Structure 1
């Protein structure tokens, strides 16, 4: 028996909708895109025309549509929680972009709304779905590099102004809409990746999060964070919007028997270098990128749709999103207090 098509509405018609959500939904044989939403109606209309859907100014209208089973929330960060909660109450499954909320309180309310509605809430943390990270996690789990001692990860690029549909005057740089800058755009991805990759929680942080260079806006454009895990391993997380001209999206994990380098080589995306001088090279694909060459499949849409089709709760659920957000919130607090801060797990 053929699987029924899932009716999807995409709320927010900016770059993340244009380059990730829309084409990935359109490529899925079990999805029909019903609607695009944006207060700037021309953006919604452009995508609606391309994907044979309808355009709306308000998400409230779309949430009333019976043929919409699920929504993607691709709005500025400050609207993630309220729109997600409305959609869940309307009986829709929700895929929400990251960071899932602007506070722990909001995140918990989103999770409760999903539980009450009996619908799925998934957060768009795509790094853990990348084949190179899946391979690296398996190697770490298998004990190839022994017990993890230290780690470092970076997500850095020249900033969202070249990619965002609104350019340098966009919401990314407006604290009222974005809540946080490079840490919300990039740092939260790596926070999620680290706790998943290492298989344990980050429990304590110290951080410097600041606006150093970007002439526009009032959000952070750089962050350097020290993290400690439950087992005592420690490392760094760097997020930056001022890496000119290219991107740094690499992760290193060091253990008692050797190290793993992830995303440091254009051909061998996972490299193991052991204490006994042995080296292992794995060609498992590059990370998704916004750089020249196009957008590869994120894996997020496929995972979300599969959860709905099989009635299986998503791995990257609201609680997973909340715990990644908690690391970011602790780093922001540390930057203000100039002290080590506990992560509210």
Structure 2
């Protein structure tokens, strides 16, 4: 970490409760680095002054890697082989680079599925899973496997007719059962692929399993489910809900957070959900938000007992969302 001494930070560094611990434009010294360690701030989340213009934006990286991954995935249709080595070499490093974007909400905007959803989803889930893994303090070796497993989680859909995957209306029961088979198909494809370890194959098979045994395809419970598949399940749901799909518009932020908390998408691993949502919400302090009543405000303080209902300043008025059930955060602005 000492290599960051003397570097100037661009944005405020905030702790778990949304309190600024090091202000923007500070030149990092030894005391700052110790504070970063104690507050458990991920150094990779920090953007340094003068570095923001040295590389393509996350949106540009995402656009380019989606096209690369699309070509690689589509090659399976003719070769019948999963191009795992090429994906590991050409896609995974970019997925990991995007996940280091310091502005989480700009990152979400960059990977949001809009047009070519199937391939944007693969990259989006790869980025979000890597982000979660980093927040869970996984090693670089573990992150590399997680990034690859997440990017490949839906590969079985290559064997599902595209007219069913992109159907604008509700699937028939028979169509839904066919789509569900992508988990088994993906597992079989990867099991026969050189270089795919158990985390990669099991993530494809188990990312729709749930802790209470109500998932598919095998109805597994808790410890029966691969740890990497549990991470990908959280990323999969968040990306799907926040993206434009053939059959729904992006779901408002507060609804996604609330439904993930309440288990509306099945019993996800509670620790992973907590790590993911708390790391997102604590980064909302200082952000401009649109409330469900249409007003625009700024989050100024997080309620430590319920960080999803912060104190919001609207003009000269302070609104405590923990005391108002009728007003929620509809959207968070992208700077």
Q: TM-score range by the shorter chain?
A: under 0.3
Answer 1 or 2: which has greater helix percent.
2
TM-score by length of 1: 0.27
Q: Point out which structure has higher relative CO (alpha carbons under 8 A, 6+ apart).
A: 1
> Which is strand-richer, 1 or 2?
1
Q: Given the two structures, how large is their TM-score scaled by the length of structure 2?
A: 0.28
